[in-house]
Amino acid sequence: MKREFGRLPDGSTVHLYTLRFGGLEAQILDLGATIYRLYAPDAEGKMADVVLGFDDPADYIKSGTFFGTVVGRNSNRTKEGKFTLNGKAYQMGVNDGKNNLHSGPNYFKNRLWAVEDTSDRHIRFSLFSPDGDQGFPGNATIYVTYTLEENSTLTVSYDGICDQDTVFNLTNHSYFNLHGHEKPEKAMDMHLCMPARFFTVADDESIPTGENRPVDGTPMDFRTEKPIGRDINEQYDALIPQKGYDHNFDAGINPCAVLTDPVSGRCMTVITDCPGLQFYSGNFLQGETGKDGVSYRYRGGICLETQYFPNALNQPSWPQPITKAGEAYHSKTKFVFSVRETKNEN
C-alpha cells in the first residue's frame, strides 16, 4: 500500500509504503529508504511501534539522528575522511570534527530512492551514486530490499555494483525500543545479549585505534544477557569519551545480538553476514520531537548497526569494505521477532 507522506522543502513528494506479513507491519519511506514504523506483537499479541522516527519528512533532512535510514556508501566514521584505494588517495567530506561520519554531508538519508518493485510483503529501492559522489570512485547502482518473511522476520538486503573498484559498506540506522517508541524512559531497561568476544577501542573522536580488546571482565561484556543500563555509567576508559555505548563489536558469531524487553516480552534477534556490529545507546539524543509528539530523551533508543568495522579503510589488517569493478556487492541482515514470558511492571 502506497500513500503520500509529505513534501520536502524543495517541493518533492515523499511516499510511504506499508508491508504486512508474518505478524509484522513495516512502514517504509522512499526518503532515505527509511524504516518509519515497525509494529511487532508483545506476549499478549498487542502491537507496538518499536522504532524511533519523525512525522515530518523535513525533520529527517535536518536531523543528525539518522532515525531508520540507510547509510552509505560507507557507514560509520573514517579518520579525517581520507582513504587510499589502488594507490590513489581519496578525500571525503569532513562533517564530524575533523573526521567523516556516514559518508556525509551528502547523505543517502536525504535522497529520494526509486522503487524498483513492491508487494504486500517486500519493497526494493534503488539509488544511482555517480563517480565522485561523497568522494568515492565509480558510477554505482545500489539496491536495498526490505522483506517480511515467515516467523516474524524483517530481512534487509543490500546490493550494489560499480564500474570501478569502490567502497560498499551499507547499514540501517534504526533506533529500537521494544517497549514501544513512545516510552523512551524504558529503553535502558531492555536486556541485550551479544556473543562478541572483542570490541574495537576508539579514541576521544570515536575513531578506532586499531586495538581489538577482549570484552572479558569489562562493562562491554554482553555474552551473558544483562540490562543495557546496568554498567553504562561505569568509569571505564572506553565508555567515558562516548558517554556510554557507541562501539563496534565483532559479529562473527550468529545470532550476533538478542535484544529483549522483559516487560512486554518482545524479543529481537539479529543475524548478519557482516563482520561488525555497532552498538549505540542513544547517548546524543537531545529530546528531539519525534512521531506522535514523543520527546526522544537521552538514551531513548538503541541502534544495532551491522557493518564493517569503523575506519576499516585505514586499518588494512581488518576486513575491507572494497568491491571490485563489475562484481556484485551483497549483504543481508535479519531481524527476527519473538516473545518471551513477561515480568510484571512496577
Residues assigned a catalytic role: 173, 305
All 3 cell numbers of residue 343?
A: 515480568
The phi and psi torsions of 110 (rounded to 5 degrees) equal -95, 10
Sheet holding 175-176, edge to edge: 175-176, 302-307, 276-280, 246-250, 198-202, 208-214
Q: Which of 35, 67, 50 is nearest to 264 (CA)?
A: 50
All 3 cell numbers of residue 61?
A: 533532512
310 preceded by a cis bond (ω within 30 of 0): no
Give residue for cell 561520519.
101
What amino acid occupies position 316? P
d(CA 101, CA 79) in angstroms, rounded, equals 9
The DSSP element (H or E) to which 59 belongs, if any, is helix 57-62
All 3 cell numbers of residue 237?
A: 576508559
d(CA 188, CA 230) in angstroms, rounded, equals 8
Torsion angle of the four alpha carbons 106, 249, 146, 19, in this order, in degrees rounded to the nearest 10: -110
Other beta carbons within 10 angstroms of residue 343's beta carbon come to 11
d(CA 309, CA 328) in angstroms, rounded, equals 20
Q: Are 52 and 35 in contact, with CB atoms under 8 Å apart?
A: no
Q: Are 108 and 68 in contact, with CB atoms under 8 Å apart?
A: no
Other beta carbons within 10 angstroms of residue 132's beta carbon come to 11
Q: Are 198 and 221 in contact, with CB atoms under 8 Å apart?
A: no
All 3 cell numbers of residue 197?
A: 568476544
